[in-house]
Structures are given as C-alpha cells and as structure tokens.
Amino acid sequence: ELLGPVANPNWVSQELEFIHKSCSTVGYRPNVFSTTLSHLIATNSSHLIFPFVSIRERLKEKAEEFFGCEYELFVEFTGLISWSRGASIGWHSDDNRSYLKQREFAAVCYLNSHGKDFKGGLFNFQDGDPATIAPVVGDVVMYTADTRNIHSVDEITDGERITLTLWFSRDGSHDEDSKLISLLSQSLLNSLAKEPVSYLPLPASSNMYWFSLDQASQPPSGFDIRWARVHVLGYAFCSFDDKGDYSMSDLSNDPSELLMKPLQLAREDELFDKEFVNSLHALQVLQFYFWKATQLQATKVETATGNVVRLSESLREKINSLKSMLLNDHQLAETVFSHMSCDPFRQPTFDWADFSAAVAAWEDYTCKLHKEMLLSLSYWRSHQSIFSVPLLGIEKRT
Ligand SMILES: O=C(O)CCC(=O)C(=O)O
Ligand SMILES: [Fe+2]
C-alpha cells in the first residue's frame, strides 16, 4: 500500500541524506550502500541516531494503525539504504530467509524522487494495487513481509535512489531498540571515561568502505567510498603529513590507513587550511556544507575567512598517488555516485568562507545533537524504548 507523505518530508529527507552520504558503507547487494543505527554508534556518531527518532516513531505508529495491530510492534531493523546505477532486486518477499522469519511488516520511506534524483528504480507488487510505484520524496510504502506481498525493484539506470527502510516484528526478542540502547549506554560510558568527551567520528575498518565490482581482481580495482563521495563533489583528501614523512612503501602496505589519520581537503589547486581528525570527519563536514550551503550563503553571519593555500607540485603528486590507489577506478566512482539532479540547491557557488562557516555550523549541530542524545538516553534506558522525549529548554533544530 502506498501512503502519502509522513512528517515534513523535505527537512527529514535532506538530513537523512546528509547522514547517509557521510556514513554509509558497502551494502548487502551489488551497488547498494547502507547506514545502520548500530554502525553510527560503532563509528562514534551515535548522536546521528537522533534525526531518525521521530520519523521512526511515526512509521511504527502508522504501521500499527494501518495493519490494525492489536499487539505492539517492535522495530526490528532501521537503515538508510541507497541503490546506485545497476542495482535491482527481483521478485521476493522480505521474510524469505530462515533468519528473517521474525519480519512481519516493512515500511519503505523514499528520501528522494524518481525522475528527479534517479532513473529506473520503480517498485512493483506482483499482484497489488497499485502494481507499480514511482518513488516520491516523503512517500511511504508499507506491506506485509510474507508471500502475500511479493515485490521487486527495477534496475536503477542513473543517479542514486535513497530510502529509509524499517522492518517490524511482533517478537520482542528482535526489538532493535533494546539492542541499540545497550550499545548506546556502552559507548556513552566509554566516551565519558575519556576527557574531553569527543563526538568526532571514528572510521570503521577500511574494508567496509571498499567498493569493487570484482573482489578478486589484482591489483584491487574499485574505490574507497569516502574518497569517492568527496571526489564526486570536486574535492580530494590530502594527507596531513606535510613533511612528506611517509614513503611509498608505507602507502602500498595499506594506503587506506591514511584515511584514519589527520588530513585536509583540497579543491582544484587549492588546499583548505583546516586539519580534520580523519577522513570521516572531513566527509561529514563536507556533506554538511552541501546540505546547508544555501542557508550559509543567505545568512553570511560571520566573515569567517578560511585560510586557503595553493597546492604545491609535490603535494599534488602526493594526492594523486594516494588517489590512484584509493580511487583507482574513478569512472566507476562517478557512475556509482553521480547525481543527476540539476537543482541549483545541489550546486552551491563555491566559497571557502562559506565552507569555513560550515565547519563551525557542523560543530554546533553536532554538539546540540550530542546534548539531546545524552538527555534522551536516560529516558530511553528507563523505558527500554527509543522515542522523542518532549524536552524542555532545548531549542528546536530548524
Ligand atoms: O526500496 C524499495 O522500494 C524496496 C526494497 C526492498 O524490496 C528490500 O530491500 O527488500
Ligand atoms: Fe523487499
């Protein structure tokens, strides 16, 4: 069944897209990428769970209402899933594996639109009404996970199709909330043990970011997702080690190690003079900038002038040698992460000062979410459930 838009689709979808484009890893099918909530916790970004809370709650209520449940539903899985060019799935039901039998219902919320953001990717019910659904941002499709709702998704032929996908169970032992709350509590304890408390992201192991069409090819052909995401926006990572201490032999050992370390961002022949703690930090800030660029341009509050230096020939070579290993198939990266939208919102007029302002705004945003998370977590723990706590004295994020 196709349901109309849920809560303010534009705001939620852009924020979730920002999260996905800065945090996703290789997914469960070819040309599919995913961001799970447990992955956000594992990469020291648990505060990014916060933007999911109210939409997740809404979708659960809608499912209970829509399927006329007389029992409580549990969210079994929550994930941001993107399908790139070449991805598709044939006729199937969502409980078609022995380990998926607990799945009762599915809710797929579209975070972008067919025709505008991607081509192909239509959703089909084998015998349903409507038989075919063209995804529109904010729309939600709900169906039972069993064989009454055999469905498929046509191959994506251009752009990137992004969804927020939830499965529900009536079996409390598959409740995602209690698992997440225990992970959150653990990660909170760990972070409180450190001073100062850090909300800077920490990359997962490099193989989770390695995309390749042929795992067996030697030398490995493909790309690092983080590098590819930065590349399609016109940027490159520049290893922070400006003394040139690392040798090429270190690089060929495991060049992706460098993406765990401090680095900078370069654009064309310029290097932005800001040290990020690692690739994930840089990627989050960059995606934040693209999400907020229009607002940043409109407000121009601070006259933050980012320090920009010209790239020297040797630095440029260094970038290129790293790039040749971590993005050795840049055409594939461009195909997989190309965005077809010609929406001017997507292509801000570039300005290093705006970018500088985005660095500060990202810190603000992150801090605020972090505080909200901490306040909510005690309620979540006592209810063993993740829900929006009406918090007094906290400004609304608008
Ligand atoms: O994204 C969709 O429209 C449906 C995806 C799907 O069928 C699945 O992930 O099982
Ligand atoms: Fe499915």
* Residue type at position 325: M
Q: Confirm whether pTM is higher than 0.90.
A: yes
The pLDDT of residue 191: 80
**3-state SS record for 324-362:** HHHCCCHHHHHHHHCCCCCCHHHCCCCCHHHHHHHHHHH
* Intra-chain end-to-end CA distance of the chain, in Å: 31
**DSSP codes joined into one string, 276-300:** ESSHHHHHHHHHHHHHHHHHHHHH-
Rounded CA-CA distance 302/357 in Å is 7
Give the SS3 label for residue 36: strand
| Per-residue pLDDT at 4 | 63
Burial class (CB in 10 A: 0-12, 13-18, 19+), 129: exposed
pLDDT at 265: 95
13 lines ligand 1 (CB under 6 A): no
The answer, yes or no, to whether any atom of ligand 1 lies below 6 A from the CB of 226, is no
CB 166 within 8 A of CB 21: no
Q: What are the CA-CA distances from residue 185 to residues 39, 46, 177, 181, 379 (Å)?
A: 15, 10, 12, 6, 12
In this predicted complex, what is the ipTM? 0.99
Domains in the chain with CATH codes: 2-198 (2.60.120.620), 208-366 (no CATH)
| Token pair of 34 as six digits | 């995913």
Query: Closest-lying ligand to the alpha carbon of 111?
Result: 1
User: Is 153 touching ligand 1 by the criterion CB < 6 Å?
Assistant: yes
- How far is residue 86's CA from residue 392's CA, in Å, rounded to a whole number? 47
Question: Token pair of 289, please?
Answer: 């900038």
pLDDT of residue 242: 47
Nearest ligand, CA 82:
1
Q: Does the C-beta of 163 come closer than 6 Å to ligand 1?
A: yes
Residue 66 has a pLDDT of 94
The whole-number pLDDT of residue 198 equals 81
Strand 156-169 relative to strand 118-120, pairing: antiparallel
Q: Is 302 left (phi over 0), alpha (psi -120 to 50) or beta?
A: beta
Q: How does DSSP classify residue 263?
A: E
Among the bound ligands, the one closest to the CA of 165? 1
| 152 CA → ligand 2 middle, Å | 7
- For residue 36, the CA-to-ligand 1 centroid distance in Å is 15
Q: Is 123 in the pocket of ligand 1 (CB under 6 A)?
A: yes
| Tally of residues, the chain | 398
Residue 247's pLDDT is: 46
C-alpha distances in angstroms, 3 versus 113, 130, 314?
Answer: 15, 11, 56
d(C-alpha 22, C-alpha 379), whole Å: 28
Provide the residue-wise pLDDT of the chain in tens; the chain has 398 residues.
Answer: 766 666 566 778 999 999 999 999 999 888 999 999 999 999 999 999 999 999 999 999 999 999 998 999 999 999 999 999 999 999 999 999 999 999 999 999 999 999 999 999 999 999 978 899 999 999 999 999 999 999 999 999 999 999 999 999 999 999 999 999 999 999 988 887 777 768 899 999 999 999 988 777 777 789 999 999 999 999 999 986 645 554 454 555 788 889 999 999 999 999 998 999 999 999 999 999 999 987 777 666 555 556 888 999 988 998 998 899 899 888 999 999 987 765 545 566 778 888 898 999 999 999 999 999 989 999 999 999 999 998 645 555 54
Ligand 1 binding pocket includes 151 (Cβ within 6 Å): yes
